[in-house]
Structure 1
């Protein structure tokens, strides 16, 4: 038996609760992982509260991240005792995820845990840090360098934003942070932001083109914010779009793209080739100051995760929530 958060939807309504499950109830997969830590991401909070149509099958164990040790394997790629992690691939949405003490997944979803990371550190980074690294890699592949100018990070106080600032600053970029929480200004500067602006500058309807203010951006917000970010990007610049905290819509014009040659780079953290996932996690293990992870994360127990979900959706959580699934 093991404990997990289970989301149900039936005649009794939509609900998420802690339940005791039998290992025989685990879904199909060739590797069983004894989970040590998971996370509470925005998607997980939507799944737990039912505020968004994240869960596609019921019952569902949410949790789009997990890190732990292989308990049993039918794949030659992994053996009992191997330390592994998973991000994405539909876990927590169409396949049982990480907010439980056991998980059974496909071997090709797994990535070996870098040797210098603990399971707790990996989940302090989680999908948020992984997405931030993929965004940095997208800007680099476009050819942006620190010499090109400032890089804007929206949703700066959230998980993706916090890691994007730290990673960009570590790689020599000058960072402008956009946040709706002015009280977090000092926190953002400690992460590496050189300037902090109010998100209100970007969150409303704007002009098709604005003053050229940044060479590139990492945007986790979407909607009017993303439209205004593109409108304020230098000619030849690029914007990595990786989230939709404000909305899934994009009320923009083609002006930044055809008049300035701005590139909009989509960042998908759910399904990436194995080699890119390994590269991203290797860079995260080397380029993040691991001693500073407690500044961008807070640990809670599995028993606290359901109650914590609404606060995450309402913007009351700074950085990351790491979930110890064994308490």
Structure 2
């Protein structure tokens, strides 16, 4: 049927677009959605994920609630200043109510069951804090071989958004990010905010989506608070669909250009907490120095045909 996919998410406006992208794609078998704290508390991310799937008429997709807090230290701040108090610009109540109940047993149980029952390896797309995924990898090493790859939206090569150094998803649980990105058990693609910012869409793109039909109009209606933030962050009328860029790579491998680079995560309590340290020195130079313990190579997305990517997103989100 196509790529077998699970999304781990903390909706969030860009998460809504990402879920819809997978739900609308005929070449994707969306096996399930798991939720995590992040942009808003876990009860809200779970409700939002279920309502987005209901909007896409995908009541067949199971949803399980995951971690309500980081692995070790408290979560300091939500992203309501970006996504609104309910995660969807105050408009979540306008979405249809989900009829399918939340799956019992939690996110790791659903992830395990879906991996166990799949006849082929599954791609997991974590687009929120990595707490659920770190827990899965630690608890079920017998399932590592059933994960085709993790396509992770997170991290930053130059500067962050939650702090000067750290991107929100990694900053929200640096210990979990360290466990996932440096463990080496499962192939990882890291889609950092440096690239997702370059993939930002403008008002014309959004207006085209809104005019495409009921789904496009409903998605566009979730964006006012998000647009207001990115007006300041970008300096022009547009917005960044971070998580949808990662889902695009999961659906169409190679739509993003990647480089295999050593990555580590800063877990100290200094000003760089949550930073992803990506070694972009030439391999010949890296070979002359000793690689620190706990640093493994990850496929880092560094470039894309930006117009082709935006066209791909728009095409998929306006399919029906």
Q: Which has the larger radius of gyration?
A: 1
TM > 0.5 fold call: no
Q: TM-score, normalised by structure 1?
A: 0.31
Structure with the largest fraction of strand: 1
Q: TM-score, normalised by structure 2?
A: 0.31
